[in-house]
Amino acid sequence: MSLDASLTGGGLPELATVYWRPRATDRSLTRAGRLWTLTTIAHTVPFIVAATLLIALNPVTIPVALMALAHAWIIPELYASRAAGVLRRRAPAGAEAEQVALGLLGDLIDTAPRELHAGTGLVMERGQLGVWLVGEAGAVLARPGGRRVHCCCVKVTERELPSSDRIAHLLLALREDEAGFATVANLAFSGAVWRLRRRLPADMRPALSAAAEAARAPGRHLAAVGADRHHAPSGAVAG
Protein backbone atom coordinates (compact mmCIF):
# COMPACT_ATOMS: atom_id res chain seq x y z
CA MET A 1 0.00 0.00 0.00
CA SER A 2 1.45 3.29 -1.03
CA LEU A 3 1.28 6.63 0.71
CA ASP A 4 3.19 8.39 -2.03
CA ALA A 5 1.24 7.20 -5.01
CA SER A 6 0.59 10.77 -6.09
CA LEU A 7 4.32 11.38 -6.35
CA THR A 8 4.70 8.56 -8.82
CA GLY A 9 1.69 9.60 -10.84
CA GLY A 10 -0.35 6.69 -9.52
CA GLY A 11 -2.73 8.49 -7.20
CA LEU A 12 -6.38 7.58 -7.05
CA PRO A 13 -8.21 9.11 -10.01
CA GLU A 14 -11.07 9.96 -7.64
CA LEU A 15 -8.85 12.62 -6.06
CA ALA A 16 -9.86 14.87 -8.95
CA THR A 17 -13.35 15.05 -7.45
CA VAL A 18 -11.98 16.47 -4.19
CA TYR A 19 -9.24 18.63 -5.66
CA TRP A 20 -9.62 21.24 -2.91
CA ARG A 21 -8.64 18.84 -0.15
CA PRO A 22 -5.03 18.60 0.90
CA ARG A 23 -3.76 15.06 0.59
CA ALA A 24 -4.10 13.15 3.85
CA THR A 25 -0.94 12.43 5.76
CA ASP A 26 -0.11 10.88 9.08
CA ARG A 27 0.26 14.36 10.52
CA SER A 28 -3.01 15.67 9.08
CA LEU A 29 -4.88 12.68 10.51
CA THR A 30 -3.33 13.26 13.91
CA ARG A 31 -4.34 16.91 13.73
CA ALA A 32 -7.86 15.99 12.65
CA GLY A 33 -8.11 13.64 15.61
CA ARG A 34 -7.07 16.35 18.04
CA LEU A 35 -9.57 18.76 16.50
CA TRP A 36 -12.33 16.20 16.98
CA THR A 37 -11.38 15.83 20.64
CA LEU A 38 -11.38 19.61 21.11
CA THR A 39 -14.74 19.86 19.37
CA THR A 40 -16.18 17.17 21.63
CA ILE A 41 -14.90 19.01 24.68
CA ALA A 42 -16.35 22.26 23.37
CA HIS A 43 -19.72 20.55 22.91
CA THR A 44 -19.86 18.99 26.36
CA VAL A 45 -17.94 21.07 28.88
CA PRO A 46 -20.17 24.17 28.64
CA PHE A 47 -23.25 22.05 29.43
CA ILE A 48 -21.51 20.44 32.40
CA VAL A 49 -20.32 23.82 33.71
CA ALA A 50 -23.78 25.31 33.23
CA ALA A 51 -25.39 22.39 35.07
CA THR A 52 -22.95 22.71 37.94
CA LEU A 53 -23.51 26.44 38.21
CA LEU A 54 -27.28 26.09 38.11
CA ILE A 55 -27.27 23.55 40.90
CA ALA A 56 -24.88 25.65 42.94
CA LEU A 57 -26.89 28.83 42.47
CA ASN A 58 -30.33 27.44 43.13
CA PRO A 59 -31.40 23.83 43.70
CA VAL A 60 -34.74 24.67 42.11
CA THR A 61 -32.98 24.65 38.75
CA ILE A 62 -31.98 21.00 39.08
CA PRO A 63 -34.36 19.86 36.30
CA VAL A 64 -32.75 22.36 33.92
CA ALA A 65 -29.32 21.25 35.07
CA LEU A 66 -30.25 17.65 34.35
CA MET A 67 -31.31 18.65 30.86
CA ALA A 68 -27.95 20.33 30.34
CA LEU A 69 -26.17 17.19 31.52
CA ALA A 70 -28.29 15.13 29.16
CA HIS A 71 -27.14 17.35 26.31
CA ALA A 72 -23.54 16.84 27.38
CA TRP A 73 -24.08 13.10 27.21
CA ILE A 74 -26.22 12.91 24.08
CA ILE A 75 -24.05 14.95 21.72
CA PRO A 76 -20.97 12.68 21.92
CA GLU A 77 -23.28 9.67 21.74
CA LEU A 78 -24.79 10.96 18.51
CA TYR A 79 -21.33 11.36 17.03
CA ALA A 80 -20.41 7.83 18.08
CA SER A 81 -23.63 6.52 16.58
CA ARG A 82 -22.79 8.28 13.34
CA ALA A 83 -19.37 6.64 13.49
CA ALA A 84 -20.86 3.17 13.74
CA GLY A 85 -23.10 3.98 10.80
CA VAL A 86 -20.16 3.94 8.39
CA LEU A 87 -19.88 0.19 8.89
CA ARG A 88 -23.59 -0.51 8.65
CA ARG A 89 -24.49 -3.30 6.26
CA ARG A 90 -26.57 -2.51 3.21
CA ALA A 91 -29.33 -4.62 1.69
CA PRO A 92 -27.84 -7.73 0.11
CA ALA A 93 -28.11 -8.49 -3.58
CA GLY A 94 -29.29 -11.87 -4.84
CA ALA A 95 -27.78 -14.96 -3.23
CA GLU A 96 -25.99 -16.04 -6.39
CA ALA A 97 -24.44 -12.62 -6.98
CA GLU A 98 -23.35 -12.44 -3.34
CA GLN A 99 -21.68 -15.82 -3.66
CA VAL A 100 -19.81 -14.84 -6.83
CA ALA A 101 -18.70 -11.54 -5.30
CA LEU A 102 -17.60 -13.29 -2.13
CA GLY A 103 -15.39 -15.57 -4.21
CA LEU A 104 -13.61 -12.61 -5.77
CA LEU A 105 -13.18 -10.87 -2.45
CA GLY A 106 -11.84 -14.10 -0.99
CA ASP A 107 -9.24 -14.20 -3.74
CA LEU A 108 -8.08 -10.70 -2.80
CA ILE A 109 -7.48 -11.41 0.87
CA ASP A 110 -5.62 -14.00 2.86
CA THR A 111 -6.95 -16.66 5.20
CA ALA A 112 -7.03 -14.69 8.48
CA PRO A 113 -8.87 -11.65 7.12
CA ARG A 114 -11.17 -13.98 5.18
CA GLU A 115 -12.17 -15.65 8.43
CA LEU A 116 -12.62 -12.27 10.09
CA HIS A 117 -14.84 -11.19 7.20
CA ALA A 118 -16.92 -14.35 7.48
CA GLY A 119 -17.62 -13.56 11.13
CA THR A 120 -17.96 -9.80 11.03
CA GLY A 121 -18.59 -8.70 7.44
CA LEU A 122 -15.50 -6.49 7.60
CA VAL A 123 -12.09 -6.81 5.98
CA MET A 124 -9.00 -5.84 7.92
CA GLU A 125 -6.12 -4.32 5.99
CA ARG A 126 -2.87 -3.06 7.41
CA GLY A 127 -1.70 0.26 5.98
CA GLN A 128 0.95 2.83 6.67
CA LEU A 129 -1.55 5.15 8.36
CA GLY A 130 -2.82 2.41 10.65
CA VAL A 131 -5.02 -0.64 10.41
CA TRP A 132 -8.16 -0.35 8.30
CA LEU A 133 -11.49 -2.09 8.68
CA VAL A 134 -13.26 -1.93 5.36
CA GLY A 135 -17.02 -2.27 5.22
CA GLU A 136 -19.61 -1.91 2.49
CA ALA A 137 -19.99 1.85 2.67
CA GLY A 138 -17.19 3.05 4.84
CA ALA A 139 -13.96 2.26 6.58
CA VAL A 140 -12.54 2.64 10.05
CA LEU A 141 -8.88 3.43 10.53
CA ALA A 142 -7.35 2.34 13.83
CA ARG A 143 -4.41 4.65 14.30
CA PRO A 144 -1.03 3.43 15.52
CA GLY A 145 -1.30 2.79 19.24
CA GLY A 146 -4.77 1.35 18.83
CA ARG A 147 -6.54 3.92 20.99
CA ARG A 148 -8.10 6.18 18.38
CA VAL A 149 -10.17 5.42 15.34
CA HIS A 150 -11.12 7.55 12.37
CA CYS A 151 -14.44 6.60 10.80
CA CYS A 152 -14.68 7.41 7.12
CA CYS A 153 -17.73 7.52 4.88
CA VAL A 154 -16.67 6.25 1.48
CA LYS A 155 -18.45 4.00 -0.96
CA VAL A 156 -18.60 2.82 -4.52
CA THR A 157 -20.82 5.00 -6.66
CA GLU A 158 -22.80 2.10 -8.14
CA ARG A 159 -25.68 1.14 -5.87
CA GLU A 160 -26.74 -2.32 -6.92
CA LEU A 161 -23.58 -4.25 -6.19
CA PRO A 162 -23.34 -7.30 -3.93
CA SER A 163 -21.92 -6.52 -0.51
CA SER A 164 -18.58 -8.26 -1.12
CA ASP A 165 -18.12 -6.28 -4.34
CA ARG A 166 -18.69 -3.03 -2.46
CA ILE A 167 -15.97 -4.04 -0.04
CA ALA A 168 -13.70 -5.16 -2.89
CA HIS A 169 -14.07 -1.76 -4.56
CA LEU A 170 -12.96 0.03 -1.42
CA LEU A 171 -10.21 -2.48 -0.72
CA LEU A 172 -8.70 -2.11 -4.19
CA ALA A 173 -8.84 1.68 -3.98
CA LEU A 174 -7.22 1.55 -0.56
CA ARG A 175 -4.45 -0.67 -1.88
CA GLU A 176 -3.90 1.61 -4.87
CA ASP A 177 -3.35 4.73 -2.82
CA GLU A 178 -3.92 4.71 0.92
CA ALA A 179 -3.46 8.45 1.46
CA GLY A 180 -5.64 9.16 -1.56
CA PHE A 181 -8.30 6.87 -0.14
CA ALA A 182 -8.18 8.73 3.18
CA THR A 183 -8.45 12.01 1.29
CA VAL A 184 -11.47 11.01 -0.79
CA ALA A 185 -13.30 9.63 2.25
CA ASN A 186 -15.39 11.95 4.39
CA LEU A 187 -14.38 11.90 8.03
CA ALA A 188 -17.48 11.11 10.07
CA PHE A 189 -15.88 10.69 13.46
CA SER A 190 -12.59 10.51 15.25
CA GLY A 191 -12.37 9.34 18.80
CA ALA A 192 -11.62 6.59 21.24
CA VAL A 193 -12.05 2.97 20.21
CA TRP A 194 -14.38 2.28 23.13
CA ARG A 195 -16.78 4.99 22.00
CA LEU A 196 -17.19 3.30 18.63
CA ARG A 197 -17.18 -0.21 20.07
CA ARG A 198 -20.27 0.23 22.21
CA ARG A 199 -22.22 1.52 19.22
CA LEU A 200 -21.25 -1.29 16.86
CA PRO A 201 -23.39 -4.38 16.36
CA ALA A 202 -22.06 -7.18 18.56
CA ASP A 203 -20.93 -9.30 15.61
CA MET A 204 -18.68 -6.50 14.34
CA ARG A 205 -16.92 -5.85 17.62
CA PRO A 206 -14.33 -8.62 17.24
CA ALA A 207 -13.13 -6.92 14.05
CA LEU A 208 -12.68 -3.62 15.85
CA SER A 209 -10.83 -5.35 18.66
CA ALA A 210 -8.59 -7.12 16.16
CA ALA A 211 -7.85 -3.86 14.32
CA ALA A 212 -7.08 -2.01 17.54
CA GLU A 213 -4.82 -4.84 18.67
CA ALA A 214 -3.05 -4.90 15.32
CA ALA A 215 -2.57 -1.14 15.51
CA ARG A 216 -1.05 -1.52 18.98
CA ALA A 217 1.35 -4.20 17.83
CA PRO A 218 2.42 -3.35 14.31
CA GLY A 219 3.89 -6.20 12.36
CA ARG A 220 2.65 -8.87 14.74
CA HIS A 221 -0.97 -9.25 13.76
CA LEU A 222 -2.16 -10.37 10.36
CA ALA A 223 1.15 -9.65 8.75
CA ALA A 224 -0.03 -11.46 5.66
CA VAL A 225 -3.12 -9.33 5.21
CA GLY A 226 -3.38 -8.47 1.57
CA ALA A 227 -1.22 -11.34 0.41
CA ASP A 228 -2.47 -12.02 -3.02
CA ARG A 229 -2.34 -14.78 -5.49
CA HIS A 230 -2.99 -12.54 -8.45
CA HIS A 231 0.37 -10.88 -8.53
CA ALA A 232 1.08 -10.08 -12.12
CA PRO A 233 3.84 -8.08 -13.73
CA SER A 234 2.59 -5.75 -16.40
CA GLY A 235 3.62 -6.08 -19.97
CA ALA A 236 1.36 -3.43 -21.28
CA VAL A 237 0.06 -3.20 -24.77
CA ALA A 238 -1.75 -0.24 -26.16
CA GLY A 239 -5.11 -0.07 -24.49
Partner 1 sequence: MSRLIRMDRTGHTTVAEWTAEDGPAVEAAVAAFRAELDQGYYAVISRGEGLAEQVRQLPIDASLVILRRPIAGG
**Binding site residues, partner 1, CB under 8 A:** 1-2, 10, 12-14, 17-18, 86, 93, 96-104, 108, 125-127, 137-138, 152-158, 160-162, 164-165, 168-170, 172-173, 175-176, 181, 184-186, 225-228, 230-239
3-state secondary structure of 123: strand
Strand 186-192, strand 138-142: pairing: unpaired
In 3D space, the residue among 225, 193, 219, 218 whose CA is nearest the CA of residue 206 turns out to be 193
Read off φ and ψ for residue 27, nearest 5 degrees: -65, -45
Minimum Å distance from CB 46 to partner 1? 30
Nearer to partner 1, 202 or 232 (CB): 232
Nearer to partner 1, 56 or 104 (CB): 104
Minimum Å distance from CB 45 to partner 1? 30
Nearer to partner 1, 15 or 72 (CB): 15
Nearer to partner 1, 50 or 83 (CB): 83
Q: Is the separation of the CB atoms in 78 and 39 below 8 Å?
A: no
Minimum Å distance from CB 234 to partner 1? 3
Give 23's contacts (C-beta < 8 A, 6+ positions apart): 6, 15, 179, 180, 183
Minimum Å distance from CB 20 to partner 1? 12
Distance, CA of 134 to CA of 132 (rounded, Å): 6
